[in-house]
Each structure stands twice: as C-alpha cells, then as structure tokens.
A and B are shown apart, each in its own frame.
Chain A
Amino acid sequence: MAETTVIPFGPQHPVLPEPVHIDLEMQDEKVLRAIPSIGYVHRGLEKLVEKRDYQKFVYVAERICGICSFGHGWGYCRAVEGAMHIDVPPRAKYLRTIWHELSRIHSHLLWLGLMADAMGFENLFMSSWRMREKILDIFEETTGGRIIFSVCKIGGVRRDMEKGTLNSIVDRLTDMEAELRVITDEFLKEPTVIRRMSGVGVLSREDAIELCCVGPVARASGVVGDMRLIDTEGAYQDLSFEPCVATEGDCLARCKVRIAELFQSIGLIRQAVEKVPDGEIAALVRGNPKEEFFTRIEQPRGEAIYYVKGNGTKFLDRMRVRTPTNANIPALVRALQGCDYADVPMLVVTIDPCISCTER
C-alpha cells in the first residue's frame, strides 16, 4: 500500500495570482484529494459596511478585488439603487456597460497571460500582458486610475466620456484586434499548448450543473447561462450578442470560451458606442436604504450576486457578495481529485481564481 504524502499548494506559489491554500493528498504523482483553505486575504469587508456610510462604501466595494474592481463597484451600486428604487439615467447605464466590457477584456487578457505562464510559455505571457497595458491606458485616460478607478457611484457615474474619446477607444480596440488574433491563435493552435490543455480537467455537462458552476467554466461544459442576457441595469438589452459556449469541458474549451468572449466584448463596446444616448450621468440620491435587494451581474469570471439590506440609517445592515470564484471552488475540488500533479497548476488557473473576491 503506497503511502500518501500531503503537498501544500499555495498560499505562496509562482502560478497563483492570489493566495489560496490547497492541501493535496498525493500518491506518487496522482492527487487523491484536495482540501482547500482560504482566509489569507480576508479583510472582513462585509462587516465593514456596518461602519461606513453606504454612499462612501462604493470605494470599499471596489477594492474587494483588483481585477474585477469595476464589476464590484457596479454590483454594489445596483443593489443599493434597487433597494432605494433609484432610476439610473440611460447614458450612465451605457457608460457603465462600456467600462465593464473593457474590464472584461483586461481580465481575460490577464488570465491568458497567467495560463501561458502556468504552462511555461513565458513569451505568450509577456505578449498578453503587453496588450493588456493598452486597455489599462484607456482606463487611465478616461477615469484617472488603472486598476481601481472609482467611477461608479450610487445613482450613476462620476465622469463622462465624450464622443471623441469613445470613438478613439473603438479605433484603438480595432487596432488591437489583429494582434489579439495572432496571440490567441497561438493558444488554440500551438501543438505543445494543445497537448497540455486538451483533455485536462474535464467537467461534463452533468457535473457542471450538479456543482452549480458559473461563468466560462460552466459555458465551456455546454451550460448556457449568461447574466447579461437578462440584465436590465446595463445597456445589454439594446445590444445583440450570443453567449459563447463550448462543449468539451476541458481546459482548452475554457480557453476558447474566454478568447471568444474577448472578441465579443470588443464587438459589444463598438455597438454601445454607436448607440449611447445623450443625457445626464447621475441621478440624485436622497435618504437611506430601508429595504433589501438582490442583484446579479455577469463578471468576467461568472455570475456575481450582490445583496444589501438596509435599515433606514446610513449604515447598511448587511452586504453580501457571492463571487463567481466562490461558486467555482467545488468544481475545482472535484476536478482535482484523480488528476496528475503536473495538471494541478493548470486546473487551478483554468477556473480563473480570484481569491480576493472569494474572501472579501
């Protein structure tokens, strides 16, 4: 009977973007069981809502995570606006959508770089992140910040983007598209890459449904679910798009889905810039939230839930964020059982872990 060793994966590990600890019970090079343990970046942000003015809490909500920062700010604002029945002006909805789609592009490019690095392909990692710098430049020009740009506020947005700026964004994205094609083709066609990703970490459709996965992880297994299709708070009702779905359910399929979403986001931004209406960018906010409200948005990693409960004072009773990585951890734990040790970094990166989001 071979004995089992326990190898600690994380919290410090070159392939992990954020600290998570997984104890891997191994036998030779096969993983028998994976035991996750989190808490390394727990900042108790949900409890902090009891001590911060709900309007100022947007800044805290954005800092839940650096990669999905805009999404968190937007989600929180939507939840409070829902609880207070505030109508956000249409121009603000469009602007928020444009920033959110840019966020999605930047997040997927970051993920592509990490995936390449996890495979040992440093060249692709450098190229993906170089493309990402161009998106961060756009953020800096329009909002003043690169990663955490506090541009969302309750009732609307704080800054406007003029027609000239919007058109220049679309032009830059069009220029990037050709180079992005070259980089993403490397991912999908290079033989060594395909060998590392194909057939690894297969999640069947039934498994994906049973484990309640969300986001690209679920869509790569054939489960169609994209919160943007029912989104009434953004501009998505007026934009036409189809969710990107693949059926194989392995790492390569998840890669394909995220790459397809990359190009889909560029298309969405193009449409939004054409249709953006004129008008105000924020609605007036009076009073304090008294009710509770659930809202869902489609973050780059999947469906995120925001719940606020107000009690009439300016401090909320409860704010809860259920992030997509939180929902995908069971899938990770299940996929790690029985896999090869060399695949562990690939599997962990393939669900796009954003542990800051998970732990808040």
Chain B
Amino acid sequence: MSKTLTAVLAGIAYVIFAPLLGGLLTGLDRKITAHVQRRKGPPVLQPFYDVFKLLGKENASINSAQDFYVGIFLLFTILSGIFFFTGGDILMVMLTATLAGVCLVVAAYSSNSPFSQMGAERELMQDMSYEPMLLVTAIGFYLVTGSFRVEKIISGPRVNIAFLPGIFIGLCFALIIKFRKSPFDISMSHEAHQEIVQGVVTEFSGPMLAMVQLAHWYENVVLFGIVALFFVWDAPWSFLLGLACCAGVFILGIVIDNSCARVKWQHMLRSSWIMTLAAGCVNLLVLMAMR
C-alpha cells in the first residue's frame, strides 16, 4: 500500500516541481555558459520570465492542427515523466518520449514554412541518432537488474554503473543530442540560429512556444533521472551520489557545448551510431557473456 502511495506522491511531485527544476537548470546553464565566455549573462530566473512573457502573448498559430500536436507533445512528455517517477517500465518511458517527439515533428511539418520543415527533418534525424542508444541503455539495465521497471533498478544490490560503464559513456553522448547542445544542436537551439532560423520551432509563438519550453524542462528532468539510475542502488545515500553525478554531467555538457562548433547531421548520425555500437553494444555483449 505504501509503495503505491509513494509512487503516487512521486508522480504528483514530478508534475509540480519538474518545471521549476528544469527552468532553474536552464537558467544555471545560461549563467555558467556566460561565465565561461567571460561575460555576465542573464539572471538565473530568466527562463521563467521568458515563459511567463510567452504565455501572455497572442496565440498566432498557423492552423489548429499545430496547437493540437503541441498540446499532445506536452501531454506525452509529462506522461513519460510520470511513468518514470512512479517506478514504471523504462521502455514505456522511452517510447512515450519518442511519441512526444514525433508529435512535435508533425506540428512543425503542419506549417508550410521551409525552415520549419527542414527543422522537422533534422529533428527526425536527431531522433534516429539517439533512439538506439536509449534502447541499448534499457536493455543494459535489464541485463544487470533483471527488470525493466525503474523501482527495481533503483533498489538493486550493487551500483549499476559498475556493470554499465560503456553504456553510460554512450548515453552521455546521446544526451548531448537530446539536450540540444553543440556539437549536436542541429535542429533547434536556445540561442538564435544560424542555418534554419529557429528550426523546428520557427512557426510557434506565444503560448505554443511556452508549452514547448515547459515540455523540454520536463524532459530534461527525466533525462537526468535516467543518468541518476546508473548511480542509485539500495543504499539510501546513493541518491546524493546520483544527484552529484547528474550535476557532473550537466557541467560536462556545458563545457563541451562551449568548446565545439556544430556538426552536420550526417556526421551526427554516423558518430552516434558508431558510439552506440562501440560503447553500448560491446557493453551488452560483455554482460551477456558474464551471465
């Protein structure tokens, strides 16, 4: 009984607090990036100010299909987070997140703008680049803990990363794509951008754009949750270890963002699949051989 209660409470906490956490992370990201570039940067709460401003604007959407799909995108992202934080099946988490991503792409396609369409194509390329790695991660957890469920993974007897080092490295690589940072910020990036204007979100404005931002914050929290899965096991203090490692990955992401230019999508696809094969699949083979 108490397990269900904990799960429900965790789910509710996620829905309420994840946007706050996600927004803070984004704000911190921009502040740290600014300091790396030796300038002052915007205030840490700037993303919240931006979202409130966007919510107050007129909804100038192209067609009603766009509104519908962006709404579904937000809904499924929150759903995938709820699955994760209530201890659900990690495959469900990933599949729901993919479905959400596809809804975003359809929303972008529904407008006639060439930039939006190119952004949508590139977003699909990005999906193809990191999906294999996420699936390999889920399989890796299964092989180590015997279950796909998150509640089993975090209560395993040993720390998971001891068996999944290759997969962890591969996941970090995929996360750079997922977090939309250089060198893989191809379809859409926070700062303006240089090839396809704003890419996928070119035609979104006002409340639509605010919803996309919110969905990205929810998504970021889930992704950091998956990173924490590697470091959380039976011991109660392991949560702190998980948080510390998430912070480490966060900082690493910022450092890499600031030291690389953007690459073309062909290169992103190639390098991420090579990484999946080399780091991820080799790890899986080793695990299967160990059984």
Residues in chain A within 8 A of chain B (CB atoms):
5-8, 13-15, 29, 116-123, 126-127, 130, 190, 192-193, 195-196, 340-342, 344-345
Contact = CB atoms under 8 A, between A and B. Distances in A.
Interface residues of B, number: 27
Contacts of A193: 261
Contact of B183 (A126, A130, A192): A192
B162 interface: no
B192 A196 contact: no
Interface in B27-57: 33, 36-39
Interface stretch (B213-221, B238-246, B263-271, B273-281): B263-271
Q: Does more than half of chain A's interface fall in helix, strand or loop, or is it mixed? A: helix
Contacts of B264: 196, 340, 342
B159 to A, nearest CB: 33
A121 B37 contact: no
A117 B118 CA distance: 20
A192 B265 CA distance: 13
Contacts, number: 71
B262 to A, nearest CB: 3
**Interface-centre pick from A116, A119, A341 (highest chain B CB count, 10 A):** A119
Contacts of B39: 126
Contact of A196 (B33, B114, B262): B262
Contact of A122 (B114, B191, B265, B267): B191
Interface stretch (B90-98, B193-201, B227-235): B193-201
A123 B258 contact: yes
A15 B191 CA distance: 12
A116 B182 CA distance: 12
Given A14-B197, A342-B195, 4 more contacts: A120-B182, A123-B259, A196-B263, A345-B194
A116 B261 contact: yes
A192 B260 contact: yes
Q: Does more than half of chain B's interface fall in helix, strand or loop, or is it mixed? A: loop
Interface in B170-192: 182-183, 185, 189, 191-192
A119 B118 contact: no
Contacts of A116: 261
Contacts of B267: 195
Contact of B37 (A14, A120, A123, A190): A123
Contacts of B183: 120, 192
Contact of B194 (A6, A8, A14, A126): A14
Nearest to A119: B261
B91 to A, nearest CB: 33
Nearest to A26: B114
A5 B112 CA distance: 11
Contact of A14 (B118, B192, B259, B260): B192
Contact of B261 (A5, A6, A7, A121): A121
A120 B38 contact: no
Contacts of B194: 14-15, 117-120, 345
A190 B256 CA distance: 13
Given A126-B37, A342-B195, A190 B261 contact: yes
A192 B191 contact: no
A192 B261 contact: yes
B197 A120 contact: no
B88 to A, nearest CB: 36
A-B residue pairs, 9 tightest by C-beta = A120-B262, A119-B261, A121-B261, A15-B194, A14-B192, A126-B37, A192-B261, A123-B258, A7-B114
B33 to A, nearest CB: 8
A123 B182 CA distance: 11
B188 to A, nearest CB: 12
